[in-house]
């Protein structure tokens, strides 16, 4: 029996694209495809798939000029990947021969290897040259339309420019942000996060092993900064995994209970707590069934569309179609009602979602305030945090968007609001 040829990173990247575009599965759910690859090849396959998804619209536009009849998805994805790589300066010989050989090893598509060879050669020889003149890739219509309705076409174009640029790496320091910024050679942002633009493997950076910081987008770090926990406060992190906000609460000295339904994701919280030498009580449970109350601080970082994270997850617009968002919106409303019931008298609730859709942010809080006249928002919690006053919203929340801080490298899209009982 001839030994099976080990998969190449490019071949695996094409399979990842099939999974995202053909099966609606996110890249984070890629362990099956990457199983037979070495660590560095896995990272390479993920990088290639991510770059391709970011430039997909441009690749399709160039390919439509040279391919008359659309080939099957797997071959189209190989052409897309090759086109993006070539247009971004990849080595023509390596890209073309590797993808042709990948297609030749597949009985179903072998007859199309000549097409792959001819098209990618054309791309390498000049058909890919207009790349930089093509428009910034747009989000698919199912997402672009509701966002344009909410924020206007100009803002959506600015968000798309931020998505196309991708994201730097932001970290939160356990204690001394200025010292950690210096140690990592990063920039200290106005809100206290540290931004790295040129970084290698995260776990190889100084201070990672010793737990002096953790990865957390600058926008995601703001809800806990706004809550400003004091040592000894009882804090409930209702949807905690992988634990960025749990770590912030614990680092501030709060007594934290962290809940999540996912055992696998809770393992990440446990590892993060161990690495940073911080502690929290971990509860694996549906938060709607959790009925211990009396918390000074309740943080509800609710499950949502995650449309604020497209800079880092360009697969999202292709893996999703918005059909599950209605269920998420209903769940967020239920969780908000429940979260309020767990507060101690005088306690504060921080609701947040990494979403760009007002239905998962502003509208949730407006509707909560309509349902519960005894509640109010506390916009003053966002004072002196290094954010721009125009990011505050009418109902008393804070709206963050990927096109904000464009000169500093952007931020995730996020919504947050602090809710208290009226006195």
Ligand X SMILES: C[S@@+](CC[C@H](N)C(=O)[O-])C[C@H]1O[C@@H](n2cnc3c(N)ncnc32)[C@H](O)[C@@H]1O
Q: Which positions are annotated as active-site residues?
A: 354
Q: Which stretch binds ligand X (CB under 6 A): 81-89, 174-182, 228-236, 237-245?
A: 237-245
Q: Does 240 bind ligand X (CB under 6 A)?
A: yes
For the CB of residue 163, give the shortest distance to ligand X in the complex, in Å: 19
Detail the DSSP E strand segments found in 194-252: 194-196, 213-215, 234-237
Q: Give exposure, 386-408, as e/b (b: 16+ Cβ within 10 Å).
A: ebeeeebbebbbbbbbbbbbeee
Write the DSSP assignment of 322-340 as a string of letters. STTHHHHHHHHHHHHHHHH
For CA atoms 212, 218, 221, 225, give the dihedral sign. Answer: positive
Q: Does 303 bind ligand X (CB under 6 A)?
A: yes
Angle CA(373)–CA(378)–CA(381) in degrees, nearest 5? 165
Q: Does 262 bind ligand X (CB under 6 A)?
A: yes
CA 272 to chain centre: 18
Measured from the CB atom, the residue of 137 and 243 that comes closer to ligand X is: 243
Which listed residue (85, 301, 359, 362) binds ligand X by CB under 6 A? 301
For the CB of residue 136, give the shortest distance to ligand X in the complex, in Å: 27
Measured from the CB atom, the residue of 241 and 411 that comes closer to ligand X is: 241
Instruction: Please indicate if the annotation marks 326 as binding a ligand.
Output: no
Q: Does 333 bind ligand X (CB under 6 A)?
A: no
Measured from the CB atom, the residue of 286 and 323 that comes closer to ligand X is: 286
Q: Does 241 bind ligand X (CB under 6 A)?
A: yes
For the CB of residue 303, give the shortest distance to ligand X in the complex, in Å: 4
Instruction: Please indicate if the annotation marks 254 as binding a ligand.
Output: no
Q: Which residues contact 349 (CB under 8 A, 6 or more apart)?
A: 297, 298, 299, 300, 339, 340, 343, 418, 419, 420
- Separation between Cα atoms, residue 127 and residue 85, nearest integer Å: 13
Q: Does 243 bind ligand X (CB under 6 A)?
A: yes
Kindly state the helix (H) or strand (E) to which residue 149 belongs, with its residue range: helix 141-151
For the CB of residue 241, give the shortest distance to ligand X in the complex, in Å: 4
CA 56 to chain centre: 18
Which listed residue (31, 107, 286, 423) binds ligand X by CB under 6 A? 286
Q: Which stretch binds ligand X (CB under 6 A): 10-18, 64-72, 92-100, 258-266?
A: 258-266
- Going from the C-alpha of 414 to that of each of 41, 88, 121, 305, 362, the distances in angstroms are 32, 30, 43, 11, 11
What is the chain's Cα-based Rg? Answer: 23
Q: Tell me, by CB under 6 A, how many residues bind ligand X.
A: 18
Instruction: Please indicate if the annotation marks 207 as binding a ligand.
Output: no
Helix (H, G, I), strand (E, B) or coil at 133: helix
Which listed residue (265, 275, 338, 372) binds ligand X by CB under 6 A? 265
For the CB of residue 278, give the shortest distance to ligand X in the complex, in Å: 14
Q: Which stretch binds ligand X (CB under 6 A): 1-9, 196-204, 281-289, 392-400?
A: 281-289
Q: Does 275 bind ligand X (CB under 6 A)?
A: no
Which listed residue (54, 245, 312, 348) binds ligand X by CB under 6 A? 245
* Tokens found for residue 404: 């904000």
- Which one-letter DSSP state was computed for residue 35? T
For the CB of residue 226, give the shortest distance to ligand X in the complex, in Å: 14
Q: Does 170 bind ligand X (CB under 6 A)?
A: no
Measured from the CB atom, the residue of 16 and 300 that comes closer to ligand X is: 300
- Separation between Cα atoms, residue 295 and residue 241, nearest integer Å: 19
Which listed residue (136, 150, 215, 288) binds ligand X by CB under 6 A? 288
**Which residues contact ligand X by CB under 6 A?**
220, 239-245, 259-262, 265, 286-288, 301, 303
Binding-site annotation, residues: 239-245, 260, 301
């Amino acid at each position: 029996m001839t030994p099976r040829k080990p998969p190449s990173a490019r071949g695996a990247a094409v399979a990842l694209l099939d999974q995202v575009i053909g099966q609606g599965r996110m890249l984070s759910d890629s362990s099956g495809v990457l199983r037979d690859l070495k660590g560095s090849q896995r990272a390479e396959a993920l990088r290639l798939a991510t770059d391709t998804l970011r430039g997909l619209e441009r690749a399709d536009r160039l390919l439509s000029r040279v391919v008359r009849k659309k080939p099957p998805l797997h071959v189209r994805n190989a052409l897309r990947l090759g086109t993006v790589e070539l247009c971004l300066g990849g080595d023509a010989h390596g890209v073309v021969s590797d993808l042709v050989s990948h297609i030749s090893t597949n009985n179903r598509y072998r007859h199309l290897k000549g097409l792959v060879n001819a098209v990618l050669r054309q791309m390498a020889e000049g058909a890919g040259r207009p790349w930089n003149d093509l428009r910034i890739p747009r989000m698919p219509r199912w997402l672009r339309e509701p966002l344009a309705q909410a924020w206007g076409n100009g803002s959506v174009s600015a968000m798309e420019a931020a998505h196309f640029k991708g994201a730097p790496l932001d970290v939160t320091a356990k204690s001394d942000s200025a010292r950690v910024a210096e140690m990592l050679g990063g920039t200290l942002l106005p809100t206290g996060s540290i931004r790295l633009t040129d970084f290698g493997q995260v776990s190889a950076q100084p201070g990672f092993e010793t737990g002096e910081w953790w990865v957390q987008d600058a926008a995601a770090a703001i809800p806990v900064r706004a809550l400003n926990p004091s040592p000894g406060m009882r804090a409930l992190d209702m949807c905690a995994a992988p634990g960025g906000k749990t770590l912030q609460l614990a680092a501030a000295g709060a007594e934290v209970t962290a809940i999540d339904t996912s055992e696998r994701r809770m393992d990440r919280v446990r590892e993060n707590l161990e690495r940073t030498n911080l502690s929290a009580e971990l509860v694996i449970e549906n938060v709607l069934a959790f009925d211990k109350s009396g918390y000074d601080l309740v943080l509800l970082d609710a499950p949502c569309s995650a449309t604020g994270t497209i800079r880092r997850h360009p697969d999202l617009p292709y893996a999703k179609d918005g059909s599950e968002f209605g269920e998420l919106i209903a769940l967020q409303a239920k969780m908000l009602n429940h979260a309020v019931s767990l507060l101690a008298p005088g306690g504060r609730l921080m609701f947040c979602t990494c979403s760009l859709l007002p239905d998962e942010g502003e509208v949730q809080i407006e509707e909560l305030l309509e349902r519960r006249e005894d509640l109010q928002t506390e916009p003053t919690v966002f004072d002196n945090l290094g954010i721009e006053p125009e990011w505050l919203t009418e109902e008393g929340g804070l709206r963050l968007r990927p096109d904000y801080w464009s000169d500093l490298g952007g931020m995730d899209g996020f919504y947050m609001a602090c809710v208290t009982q009226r006195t």
